[in-house]
Structure 1
Amino acid sequence: MNTTQQQPVTPQPAISTGSMLTQVSGVLAAIIILILACAWVAKRLGFASRRSGNQTLNISASCSLGQRERVVIVDVDDARLVLGVTAHQITHLHTLPARPQPETTDSPQPKPDFRQVLQSLMKGTGKNK
């Protein structure tokens, strides 16, 4: 008589699909919230660009009159517009003449070359032999 004793097999704990799905979706939600928070901080601190590709329209000044009311000066190609801005409408208040263009000099100062800069630095520190 051959008696074989079998040792009891302990089952390995199986990873449930539901808990893994919960973990993955939780991490994904945390990443999305982190991205949105970073975008909000960047916008609040002014890192995000507020301008569109059109450079002929600039807001040169703005003054708040209330929670949602403002007076804004907008520079366009040939004029400056004073606008009243509310939550529901924009009203043209006045037109100012365009800002004069700054005068440009015809001959810019030539930059000194490296040898001249080095000699002036050596003379200034007293190490010129």
Structure 2
Amino acid sequence: MRPTAGQVQHQPVGQPAISTGSVLTQVSSVLAGIILLILACAWLAKRLGFVQKGQVRGLNDLTISASCKLGQRERVVIVDVEDARLVLGVTAQQITHLHTLPPKPPQEPPAPSAMTADFRQVLQTLIKRPGKP
């Protein structure tokens, strides 16, 4: 069909389907969501006890086995190292070596049970852990 004198035929102009601003918004919102998911997983792992308290990062041979608060900023800490147990006095300004104890005798690992614990048992042991409110 031919256009008449009063009609003009329009051809579609090539426009991008998605604007650059909306793509940038989508990418940044997905990135923020991923970062929030990582932070939530880290908080959950710490809350459920998957991260050991007293374990110094990077040094698997150094653990804090006991701690006793003496004042607002003073405490006595027992630190287990490879060949000894150190009793340390810790204040806001310094750490003082108080005594050296012999190392703990190595504990035998518990014998693996024939049956693996089901989810209900694992959840109950996590809930009933000592030291949790």
Unaligned runs of 5+ in 1: 105-129
Q: 1:45 aligns with which of 39, 45, 48?
A: 48
Cα RMSD (Å): 3.5
**2:120 aligned residue:** none
Q: 1:73 is paired with a residue of what secondary structure?
A: strand
Deviation at 1:16, TM superposition (A): 1.4
Q: Which residue of 2 aligns with 1:60?
A: 65
- The DSSP-based 3-state class of the residue aligned with 1:18 is helix
Residue 24 (structure 1) aligns with: 27
Cα deviations by residue, 1:15-63 (Å, 9 ceiling, x for unpaired): 21101210121111111121022113313433125354543x4432112
Question: Partner of 1:84 in structure 2?
Answer: 89
Partner of 2:126: none
The whole-number CA distance in structure 1 between the counterparts of 2:17 and 2:96 is: 68
Q: Which amino acid letter does the alignment assign opposite residue 40 of structure 2? A: A
Task: Give the 3 Å change call, closer, same or farther, for CA 42–69 of structure 1 in structure 2.
Answer: farther
Amino acid across the alignment from 2:43: W
Give the TM-score of the pair, scaled to structure 1.
Answer: 0.53
Ranges in structure 2 where 5+ consecutive residues have no aligned partner: 109-133
Displacement after TM superposition at 1:6 (Å) = 6.2
Percent pairwise identity: 72
Residue 10 of structure 1 deviates from its aligned partner by: 8.1
